[in-house]
Amino acid sequence: MTERITARKNPLLQQVKRLLSSHKERQETGLFVADGTKLLAEAVRWWPGLETVILSDGVEAQVPQGVRVVYVPEDVMESISPMRTPQGALFLCRLPEVAPLAPCPGMLLLDGIQDPGNLGTILRTADALQVPVALLEGCADPYSHKVVRSSMGAVFRTPVVQTTWAQAQAALKTAGIPVAVTALSQRARDIRQAPVGTMAVVIGSEGQGVRKEIIDSADEELIIPMDSRCESLNAAIAAAIVMWQMKG
C-alpha cells in the first residue's frame, strides 16, 4: 500500500528534516534518515529496521512488505533532501540496539574522528577488510546521513560499536591485547616492523591526534613512514594503511 504527500509541512516530512539535522532528534526518536537509491537497496538487503521509504514520483524501489512507502513530487523531495541533486529516495530506519565491545587482536579504535566523510570512509574500509572497529568518545554520529552515505552502506552490513576509552581499555587489558597508538614521536616504531595484527590500534582525531591519556597508557606507539616534508596523513588514509598492515 502506497501513499502520496504533496504538502511540504506534512508531519512526516518535517520529521525527516529534524532527523537529518539533529543528533538529539535521532536519539530521542530512535530513528535515522539516509538518502539515495543505492543505499536504500543496501538497507533493504541488510537492515531489519527499515520503516519508511519516501520516493519521488516516477522512482521505483523494491521494499519489503510492511514498510511504509510514500511518494512525493520532485520539488517536495528537493525541499527535504540533503543533496543538491536528489536521487529520489529518502528512508527512515530504526536505530539498532547498542552493539557490545568484543575485544580482539587486529581491531581499530577511533578516538574523536569528527569528520563524517572520514568516519564513513573508515567504516567502509573496515567492512571491506573485515577489521573490527570501535568508536570512542568524540566521534561523529555514525548514523548521520553524511556518515551513512560515506560508508556506502557499511553501517547497514556491520554493527557499529560505540564505547568509552575506559571501557575499551579495561576490556582489552582483560583480554590480554596490547594497545598501540599512531603518533609522531621519537619512540614510535615503524608500523611495518610491528605485529599490528595482534594489537588494538588507536587512530586519533583529524586535528589533535590521539588523546594524551591514551598515548600515556598505550603499550606502544606506531608511525607510518612518510616524507619528512609531510606532517601527517588524513585520518581515513592512516586508518586504511593500518588496517591493510593488520591483514598483511
In order along its 248 residues, the chain shows pLDDT tens digits of 789 999 999 999 999 999 999 999 999 999 999 999 999 999 999 999 999 999 999 999 999 999 999 999 999 999 999 999 999 999 999 999 988 999 999 999 999 999 999 999 999 999 999 999 999 999 999 999 999 999 999 999 999 999 999 999 999 999 999 999 988 676 888 999 999 999 999 999 878 889 999 999 999 999 888 787 777 789 999 999 999 999 87
| Secondary structure of the chain in HEC code, one letter for each residue | CEEECCCCCCHHHHHHHHHHHCHHHHHHHCEEEEECHHHHHHHHHHCCCEEEEEEECCCCCCCCCCCEEEEECHHHHHHHCCCCCCCCEEEEEECCCCECCCCCCCEEEECCCCCHHHHHHHHHHHHHHCCCEEECCCCCCCCCHHHHHHCCCHHHHCCCEECCHHHHHHHHHHHCCCEEEECCCCCCEEHHHCCHHHCEEEECECCCECCHHHHHHCCEEEECCCCCCCCCCCHHHHHHHHHHHHCC
pTM of the model: 0.94
